[in-house]
Amino acid sequence: MNGSGVRPVFKGLFFVRSLPGGMLRIGEASPNRAVEIADEDGWVERLIRLMDGTRTVERLWRDLAAAAPSLTIEDVSEIVAELDRLGYVDDQGLRDECGLGPDELERFRANVNYFSYYSSMGSGPWGMQERLRGAEVTVIGAGALGCGVLLNLAGLGVTDLRIVDFDVVELSNLNRQMLYAEKDIGRRKIDVASEFLARFHFRSNPELVDMEITSAADAKKAISGSDLVVLAADQPYWLLERWVNQACSEAGIPFIAGGMNLCEGQVYAVVPGRTGCAACIDLQYGQDHAEHAAFLSDFRDSDFRMPSASIAPNYMVLAGIVGGEIARWFTGTAEMRSAGRVLAMNFDTYALETRIDFARRIPECPVCKDVY
Ligand SMILES: [Zn+2]
């Protein structure tokens, strides 16, 4: 770090106060990243007040020098670098250079503030919002989980969406599929969802695909060109997941899948080339549960069809986890927690546990063998 073009801005997320004994406290209790630093002369506090994004490091030093003539520009550079290392500083220059318009900076101000908890002078939170805007996400299934995920994507500012579904709204959907209303009964879900998104955000113009996926070839069409796929449908049971897994593995497109079974919700993400795939999960599960293959075979041969048995709150939580993973993927604030892990959310206890770890692919998996 030197005195060149960056214009440090102290993040507005952190409360700063002087303590007795010449100490300065930044932030409060966890997760607010509290630290206490020595500031006997009070110039660190003054420096922080001056870091409003209008001054370069050199300018900060000059403005401080009147009160602290012994201070060198190296001193100021060092403390700015230290505050940056601790996670308290962004570079205002990155805001000015970003491609977000004034309406987006205003609309997504709280998103950007949130991302700035994770950003630094080198990364900045504005580019994170920009990456969400540029993300091309395909959502397969506009049912309960799909509705929740679409709502989350709208709030995150993901507008380049493709929605794949073939169903119409039914009265019995209206306990958990919260994009739809009574007046929509009989209409295509993709149309109603699209109207909501367009009403919510003028930039939203989703591509609507009226298709029932019945093969890997269909899945390939559905996911083509996406940056990320959300699999939010589960029929035909097991097969749809395999088709989407195969298509995404071949295309090198990451996908996040979620599903609900009574009081348990599951989420996992496959990142081709980095994690195992859904077929690896099967292989691993089969190795650990000898009866699994027989169950699958009997289940598929039977005409048993589990009735919908779920409540909106559970889907909201599950969709929130999927939405959070999507935000992590595009912003880089953190690794996706579900990448290479089947996360199971127990809605009786609200505990989230790793059910299956497939971070490493199963060597004999035929689906992802060519991906590595
Ligand atoms: Zn695999």
CA distances from 103 to 65, 100, 186, 205, 366 (A): 38, 8, 36, 17, 48
Average pLDDT value for residue range 258-285: 96
The whole-number pLDDT of residue 339 equals 98
Say how many Å lie between the CA of residue 205 and the centre of ligand 1.
34
The whole-number pLDDT of residue 4 equals 61
Say how many Å lie between the CA of residue 339 and the centre of ligand 1.
13
The whole-number pLDDT of residue 221 equals 98
Structural domains in the chain, CATH included, are 8-100 (3.90.930.60), 135-357 (3.40.50.720)
Say how many Å lie between the CA of residue 289 and the centre of ligand 1.
18
Per-residue pLDDT tens digits for 28-70 = 876 778 999 999 999 999 999 999 999 999 999 999 988 888 9
Banded pLDDT at 74 (limits 50, 70, 90): very high
Question: Which one-letter DSSP state was computed for residue 303?
Answer: -
Share of the chain above pLDDT 90, in %: 87
Average pLDDT value for residue range 78-85: 96
Above 90 in pLDDT, residue 287? Answer: no
Per-residue pLDDT tens digits for 338-358 = 999 999 999 999 999 999 999
pTM of the entire predicted model: 0.94
Residues with CB under 5 A from ligand 1 (ion): 276-277, 279-280, 361, 365, 367-368
Say how many Å lie between the CA of residue 319 and the centre of ligand 1.
25
Beta strands 8-10 and 89-91, pairing class: antiparallel
Say how many Å lie between the CA of residue 211 and the centre of ligand 1.
26
The whole-number pLDDT of residue 155 equals 98
89 against 296, higher pLDDT: 89
Consecutive H or E run containing 10:
strand 8-10
Say how many Å lie between the CA of residue 243 and the centre of ligand 1.
13
8 A C-beta contact, residue 284 and residue 363? no
The whole-number pLDDT of residue 372 equals 65
- The residue type found at 11 is K
Give me the chain's average pLDDT, please: 95
CA distances from 302 to 236, 261, 296, 306 (A): 13, 18, 10, 11
Say how many Å lie between the CA of residue 260 and the centre of ligand 1.
23
Above 50 in pLDDT, residue 153? Answer: yes
For the residues of 51-79, what is the DSSP string, one character each? -BSS--HHHHHHHHHTT-TT--HHHHHHH
Measure the CA–CA gap between 279 and 255, rounded to whole angstroms. Answer: 13
Banded pLDDT at 210 (limits 50, 70, 90): very high
The whole-number pLDDT of residue 66 equals 84
Say how many Å lie between the CA of residue 279 and the centre of ligand 1.
5
The whole-number pLDDT of residue 2 equals 42
Q: What 3-state DSSP class applies to 140?
A: strand
Say how many Å lie between the CA of residue 249 and the centre of ligand 1.
8
Per-residue pLDDT tens digits for 93-125 = 999 999 999 999 999 999 999 999 999 999 999
The whole-number pLDDT of residue 178 equals 97
Average pLDDT value for residue range 131-155: 98
Measure the CA–CA gap between 2 and 240, rounded to whole angstroms. Answer: 54
Say how many Å lie between the CA of residue 256 and the centre of ligand 1.
15
Residues in the chain, overall count: 372
The whole-number pLDDT of residue 288 equals 87
